[in-house]
Structure 1
Amino acid sequence: MADGRIPRGRVVFVGVAAIVGAVLVPTAINVGTGGVLPAPLAGFEPWAWPVVGAGLAVLITLGVLEIQRSRDSVRAYDHPRNRANALAQVENYVTKRSAQALAERVHITLVLDQASSAVRPTPHLVQPVDEIQLPPNSSIVDAFGMFQESLLLLGEPGAGKSTLLLELGHHLVERAKHDVGQPIPVLVDLGAWSRSGRVRSRHDPEPVGVIRQRVDGSPVVARDFAGWLFAELQRRYTFPPQIARAWLAAGRLALLFDGLDEVEPADRERCVHELNLLQKTFAVPHLVVCSRDEVYKRLQGHLRLQGAVSIRPVDPGQVEEYFDKAQGRLDGLREAMRTDGALRNLARTPLVLSIMFLAYHDRPAAALAGHARLGWLFDAYVSEMVVRRRVPRTRYTAEQVARWLWMLANLDDYGRRMLLAGLPAGARRRITREDLPVLLAGCVAGMVVPMALAYGTVAGLATALVGVGHVALLDHTIGLGTVVSPVPERKWRLSAGMPLCLLGGLALGTGAFLLGDAASGMLSRWVFTALCGCAALNIVLYVARLRWPFAIPTVPLAILGGHELSEVDGVMVGFGFGATFGWALASLCVVGDMILFAVFNSEWDLRGFTIRVVVCSSPVAPIVLLVGENGSIEWPLLAGVVIGGLLAPTATETTWAWLERLRQEWCGLVVRLLLVWDGYLPWRRRAFVRYAVDRGVLVTDSGGKHRFAHALLRDHLKRRDPTQLADLIRERAARS
């Protein structure tokens, strides 16, 4: 394959051929010439040649299927309907994105300057005899053609890079519609690549001595670039991966990458390498990459492209021309800029001029005095757009809008895994210091109360103590009590989210009781014995933090002890309850683990996590005394609960890849629920996204994913105090 990947069918075909040719056929020949099979296979000699025949039949079938697959692949991507549908998908996306973008309301002609020293020659293209010189007043389409459709586009933040890329996309779509030999343009946001992988966790390989801090500051490990690209083309344009791969290898796609500066700083060098590798692998003849000028200059590597251009900042003459085309709606702004030099210096990019038009049009000059800051400009834009537009009718308070926009700006991507990587410090503190202890207390209550009803008050109270002990054990293994940096203690405050956390914990604990009751009846002695060995392994590796050699004598002794305990009535019943109880508690503690690890250079203090859980769980004792009946201590049952709970560290410490993915998905789901319960996110996300899209704050693509109208707007809202922004929205609403 052009991207270096070997199809699975071909791998299976080669494997079956190797088995048939290297094992089955020689064995059958040996039997046919008077030989014998090895002792374990004695008596199967008559089956030797039938097995070879069956293997050959499977081999022929796989070969036919592989040939058919190859033909179908070629026929599929050559189907004429695919190209027409693909162009329609791209045109729809480009048109929709252009309509949603914060582009200038009155068109400004941007000036491009040549910057060829920013790139290195493309290895798969023959270089021209004479150096390419960009003529004055060249458009982005002219530059794309002059530099052989291999171009780097640089500019200041808000200079119009995305706008020019959309303009180029429109031109290439029209060109491809009239000429079947021209490539299909596809716009792709590079920032999505660095957020596409898994969130870093405590189980990633780290240098010695580094446990809780991310080495490179990046919260996410980006995935394979080519695989991500084909998945993104499928999500955004519905291109099947095999068709997109075939088109790219055949030079039938023009890749327009936006936002190299939006890639996580730790991944930018790798992104440049991946883009160069993509060209080397597929010999991509049509490629454009956009980036902020200062970000690209800080990179050590250079892109392999034929040329580079930089967008020149807007000059005063262009600003005056812009005001003239506004037909008097910006006269107040023009007058204010003549007397305010800071406000005049602010108007250097099309983005700022567009926001000025939206926020300041038809406003008198006196109302704009002293507001020459980019942050104030973004505040005015958000306030103006939220208050002015009434479709759909406003149904959110100013506090809700400000807080939800602030949270969405911090999260940037609403995927469950990305919630862990983008949580602001206030939300992290709220979840780990208030929500998780209440959730764990609810889980303890949900398990203990049914135990008290089924086995008596003493059994219920003992189970509560065991549950708190399991939390302390998990606190020790995970390190939730680790002090990163002491900060002043804050008092707890009751919120609407806490009762919901309590109910959620009760549901989880009750579910653990019911599952443990079912598991106890199905648990066999041999399974119980093996799980006792696993519990001993957890103690050695995760609790005592010893090395593997110490487990060699411990695990066999635990297995022997488990075999003896399995004959004691009540132990296996308690073991089922303890295992499900421990895993339920671990499923909540692992959320704190993920959140704590994501803290980087932040003031944090999680001392006394177990004490918080104990305090929250203290009301369980009188409830048990009220609902349960007195009874004696059932030591076998209690011993089984304790042993079963020792399996809990397996859920938090095991480094299996599939379990790590499951942990991240589960933690993302829990954190999302907690953010909704605490009021950081709306209950109906899609409704609020539609609300923000209508007001020009968010935009959505054809795949349903949202993003902010501009990265500068997102960065501003990320740093903005939502309370102050809500006050500005209310002030603007009072004037309307």
Structure 2
Amino acid sequence: MWPRRRSGSPPLLLFSVLNAVTSSSVAVAVNVATAEFPQAHGWTDNFTLLASIVAAVTVVSAVVAWLDRRADAGSAPSRPDALAAAAPMTTAQRWILAGGAVILTAGLATFIWLRPGLGGRERLSVLLTLAAFAVVAWLVAWWAVRAARPQPVAEATRTGEAGITTRSRVLQRVDQWWVRDALHRSLQQAVRLDVALDAQPDAVEAYEGPTQAALQRLGAPEPLPDGTRLVDVYDASRRILLIGRPGSGKTTHLLQLTEELLRRARADDDSPAPVVLLLSRWRTSHPDFCSWASAEIGERYGVAPAEVRQWLDDGRVILLLDGLDEVDDEYQDACLEAINSFARADSFAGTGMVVTCRSQDYERLHRLAFDVALVVRPLSRAQIDRALRSAGPDLDTLRHALDRDETLRELLTTPLMLGVATIAYRGATPDQLPTGGDSDAHRQVLYRLFVQRMLTRRRSLRGRPETEANFPPHEARCALIWLARLMHRRSQTVFYPDWLTPAWLPGRHPEWPLPRPRGVTAWLARRLGWDHTSTGLVGGGLAALIGAVATVPFGALVGGVRGAVVTAAVAAAFFGLGIGLTFGVLLQVPRLNRLFVPFIGREETTAYAASEWTTSARSAATGFLFWSAFGAVFVGLPVALSSTWPAAALIALTLGTGGGLSGGSVPDFAKPPASPGHALRASLRRFTRLMMILLALVAALLAVTFAQRGPWFAVVAALPMTVALMLTAGPGRAWLRHRAVTFGIARSGLLPEQLLDFLSYADDRVIMQRVFGGYAFIHRTLRDHLVAEDPFNRLPEPSRRVPAAGG
């Protein structure tokens, strides 16, 4: 039934087995329903024959899938870019899959074996139970299809890292992420300039203790010989501070140094490995800078923190730290002092360090205890004129405007703004250039026209041709503004789609006027906030579906067809409203929020989607005991008083099973997302496996209980609550939260529903660029510009004169 996958991906075996099992289930269900007919009555009573047929279909399907997979593997092209992000199926996963299929098959055969003693309503209940299991199995298979769909991954992953040393893997990732992606694809590469460096000796000071006052003001720099590169200074002094104006090229210099140090490290195994770290991720939760650097390198580059610590002790790594000014204001002093303590420590004397910071922000801080401070020299008038002349006559209007506009000429003394200007003002007429205003006003006009030009051009600057834009320019601009605002609100310089959660969405009291979509969803969002509305609606809708499907057999057992319909409606309302009100309303009350923490965890500390998940026996045991106790007290006790104690015990056991499965899955953030969406797909695959295990265990428990004439309906009744429970922790919650935020950003009109496509589109237009498994604006000043823009105002027509604000 499933389309044949030419890639030979591991889940093909899963699809075939599920296909065999569910097809057999349908056949069995039909025979149960038609048992009154003589031609069907004979062989449906034969347990051995029926079990043999089901087992034979399953085995044949699995063998065919295995042979098909081998054929695909042999004929598949061995191109690195053809590999999928899905990992090969392990032996343990195959055994789990085979065990689940056998248990489910045995349970189905047991149902048929006991069929002669069932009444009419019991037969209908069994039929609906089989159908419910088939539906859930197909949903699990569909999730597996989505999780295993081949996706483009980062070059560092495509080229293969198996069998290489830790050092080689670090160098490979530095090369891909920082040299190829960040340096060679940056906007500054469009304008090739030799930006000079000057010495700034008063910016650093070697001292034994902390200074008592901030730097306050930098003196005049001391010129260095033309052609002096950052690597030349680093060879003489291993601790360098690099400062400059926004967009002056600090990060470009740092990445050019990275490229040179990377070349040396690959040529000589004794040379230290350069690693680039973003200081914007600094937090005071670590006891010292060495601990933070070890954890950050471990998370970003896949190195054990203990091994990183040994590298730092031995001087085998060079720390290239970008963006001291991007550290949160409340952490800046602590970060600088931690760096100084690290730099003064004798044990780390052999570790090279380079730190970048904006000049204006650095003046508010204490001095770094480094050897040398450099400042990026502004572009000279001659450099600007040569760059504009080399671009051709399309920039003659801009070049002549610089002769009479000192403010505009001063603005273009940084490579970033000169590169932006060559794009924004290419082919412009004199009346399109801004008049009057200060430097900030000119920058706003320049960025506004730059964004307009990039969104309306028919070809990207990344070398990928496009016949037409994927997103209308006005809608794309609005989405960029909202993304910039959301990132600014959470102090993020890099946006990771995998880590997008409902907490990113505006609450009841948004900082900015939001789009006003119509409908019930928008009405709820205005009163509850998009964060809680999205979670409540998505979680409640899914819980209603699960509740209706899983309780239909119990309703059929009690009241036939009418009972099934009524029970499904009641269960959908109960579970849907319960989950929806809990996440949409109750969690907004601080006291109630604290009450729910033991059950669902804290919103701010809940793990995001992770590239790797591990199993913890201790966590699984804790989850099993906690949720078993919860089920026994809050669900089992009322059932025991109204029904039987065995039914209460089965409900507690079923809930505990789900709690153990979800609680035992622990995210491992040692590897960052290799590509946007990679961590989410890995979490979805993990959740799919957990659902498979749950279905197999529940089927086994159901078969045993049914064979013993026990209260099997208790297991069916507890299944929807168990599945809903598994969506509140572990990989299930990561998937649910992402579904909720996708729903929220689309319904609210803030971001496109096809978010990954939009981010790739923004990268093509050089408005954003890939960083690790996320995206960042080409410069923080562009992000800040978009934060201040009004998404409800359309851009002016290019032919109209654009006055600068304040002019």
Pick the TM interval, shorter chain: 0.5 to 0.7
2:457 corresponds to which letter in structure 1? R
Task: Give the conservation status (yes or no) of the 8 Å contact 2:532–2:584.
Answer: no
| TM-score, normalising length: structure 2 | 0.50
Q: Report the counterpart of residue 225 of structure 1 in structure 2.
A: 292
Task: Give the conservation status (yes or no) of the 8 Å contact 2:766–2:778.
Answer: yes
Change over 3 Å in CA distance of 1:649–1:478 after alignment to 2: farther
Change over 3 Å in CA distance of 1:389–1:290 after alignment to 2: farther
Task: Give the conservation status (yes or no) of the 8 Å contact 1:257–1:290.
Answer: yes
Percent of aligned positions that are identical: 26
Q: Report the counterpart of residue 641 of structure 2 in structure 1.
A: 565
Mapped to 1, the partners of 2:169 and 2:575 lie a distance apart of 62
2:321 corresponds to which letter in structure 1? F
Aligned positions of 1:383-422 closer than 5 A: 383-390=452-459, 391-393=465-467, 394-409=469-484, 410-411=486-487, 412-420=494-502, 422=504
1:157 corresponds to which letter in structure 2? P
SS in 1 for 2:188: coil
Shift of 1:348: 3.6
Out of 456, 478, 501, which is 2:587 matched to? Answer: 478
Q: Report the counterpart of residue 38 of structure 1 in structure 2.
A: none
Aligned positions of 1:327-346 closer than 5 A: 327-346=392-411
Change over 3 Å in CA distance of 1:461–1:119 after alignment to 2: same
Shift of 1:395: 2.6
Change over 3 Å in CA distance of 1:397–1:731 after alignment to 2: farther
Shift of 1:477: 5.1
SS in 2 for 1:343: helix
- 1:264 corresponds to 2:353: no
SS in 2 for 1:186: strand
Out of 437, 449, 457, which is 1:380 matched to? Answer: 449
- Specify every segment of 5 or more residues in structure 1 that has no aligned partner in the other structure, as ranges: 1-78, 125-132, 199-221, 484-523, 537-558, 588-636, 653-658
Q: Report the counterpart of residue 103 of structure 1 in structure 2.
A: 188
Mapped to 1, the partners of 2:387 and 2:296 lie a distance apart of 38
Aligned positions of 1:158-237 closer than 5 A: 158-176=247-265, 182-192=271-281, 225-231=292-298, 234=301
Mapped to 1, the partners of 2:627 and 2:479 lie a distance apart of 49
Shift of 1:375: 2.0
Mapped to 2, the partners of 1:191 and 1:693 lie a distance apart of 21
Shift of 1:155: 1.4
Q: Report the counterpart of residue 716 of structure 1 in structure 2.
A: 785
Q: Report the counterpart of residue 307 of structure 1 in structure 2.
A: 372
Task: Give the conservation status (yes or no) of the 8 Å contact 1:119–1:308.
Answer: yes
- 1:700 corresponds to 2:767: no
Task: Give the conservation status (yes or no) of the 8 Å contact 1:693–1:700.
Answer: yes
Q: Which moved more, 1:379-388 or 1:135-144?
A: 135-144
Change over 3 Å in CA distance of 1:105–1:651 after alignment to 2: closer
- 1:670 corresponds to 2:779: no
Mapped to 1, the partners of 2:447 and 2:243 lie a distance apart of 23
Mapped to 1, the partners of 2:167 and 2:329 lie a distance apart of 36
Task: Give the conservation status (yes or no) of the 8 Å contact 1:448–1:460.
Answer: yes
Mapped to 2, the partners of 1:91 and 1:343 lie a distance apart of 36
| TM-score, normalising length: structure 1 | 0.54
Shift of 1:287: 0.9
Mapped to 2, the partners of 1:399 and 1:282 lie a distance apart of 52
Shift of 1:153: 0.8
Task: Give the conservation status (yes or no) of the 8 Å contact 2:535–2:580.
Answer: no
Q: Report the counterpart of residue 75 of structure 1 in structure 2.
A: none
Q: Report the counterpart of residue 442 of structure 1 in structure 2.
A: 541
Change over 3 Å in CA distance of 1:83–1:308 after alignment to 2: same
What is the CA deviation profile of residues 221-242 of structure 1, one whole-angstrom value per residue up to 9, with x for unaligned ones?
A: x99623433235526xxx6767
Q: Which moved more, 1:178-187 or 1:331-340?
A: 178-187
Task: Give the conservation status (yes or no) of the 8 Å contact 2:298–2:308.
Answer: no
Mapped to 1, the partners of 2:414 and 2:794 lie a distance apart of 24
Task: Give the conservation status (yes or no) of the 8 Å contact 1:234–1:240.
Answer: no
Shift of 1:302: 4.5
Aligned positions of 1:504-653 closer than 5 A: 530-531=629-630, 535=634, 565=641, 568=644, 572=648
2:443 corresponds to which letter in structure 1? L
Mapped to 2, the partners of 1:721 and 1:164 lie a distance apart of 34
Task: Give the conservation status (yes or no) of the 8 Å contact 1:122–1:305.
Answer: no
Mapped to 2, the partners of 1:181 and 1:171 lie a distance apart of 15
Change over 3 Å in CA distance of 1:121–1:444 after alignment to 2: same
Task: Give the conservation status (yes or no) of the 8 Å contact 1:150–1:287.
Answer: yes
Shift of 1:154: 1.1
Task: Give the conservation status (yes or no) of the 8 Å contact 1:120–1:302.
Answer: yes
Task: Give the conservation status (yes or no) of the 8 Å contact 2:501–2:738.
Answer: yes
Mapped to 2, the partners of 1:86 and 1:439 lie a distance apart of 40
Q: Report the counterpart of residue 136 of structure 1 in structure 2.
A: 224
Shift of 1:90: 4.4
Shift of 1:333: 0.7
Change over 3 Å in CA distance of 1:177–1:469 after alignment to 2: closer
1:163 corresponds to which letter in structure 2? T
Mapped to 2, the partners of 1:304 and 1:94 lie a distance apart of 28
SS in 2 for 1:670: helix
SS in 1 for 2:184: helix
Change over 3 Å in CA distance of 1:704–1:466 after alignment to 2: closer
Task: Give the conservation status (yes or no) of the 8 Å contact 1:398–1:729.
Answer: no
SS in 2 for 1:330: helix
Mapped to 2, the partners of 1:534 and 1:187 lie a distance apart of 52
Shift of 1:358: 1.6
Shift of 1:416: 3.6
1:148 corresponds to which letter in structure 2? S
What is the CA deviation profile of residues 464-518 of structure 1, one whole-angstrom value per residue up to 9, with x for unaligned ones?
A: 46864776567775235999xxxxxxxxxxxxxxxxxxxxxxxxxxxxxxxxxxx
Mapped to 1, the partners of 2:586 and 2:290 lie a distance apart of 29
Shift of 1:106: 4.1
What is the CA deviation profile of residues 630-668 of structure 1, one whole-angstrom value per residue up to 9, with x for unaligned ones?
A: xxxxxxx99x999x999999998xxxxxx6998567534
Shift of 1:398: 2.1
Mapped to 2, the partners of 1:176 and 1:529 lie a distance apart of 55
Change over 3 Å in CA distance of 1:474–1:378 after alignment to 2: closer
RMSD: 5.3
Mapped to 1, the partners of 2:628 and 2:264 lie a distance apart of 71
Change over 3 Å in CA distance of 1:179–1:434 after alignment to 2: closer
- 1:275 corresponds to 2:339: yes
Q: Report the counterpart of residue 291 of structure 1 in structure 2.
A: 357
Aligned residues: 494
Mapped to 1, the partners of 2:540 and 2:265 lie a distance apart of 62
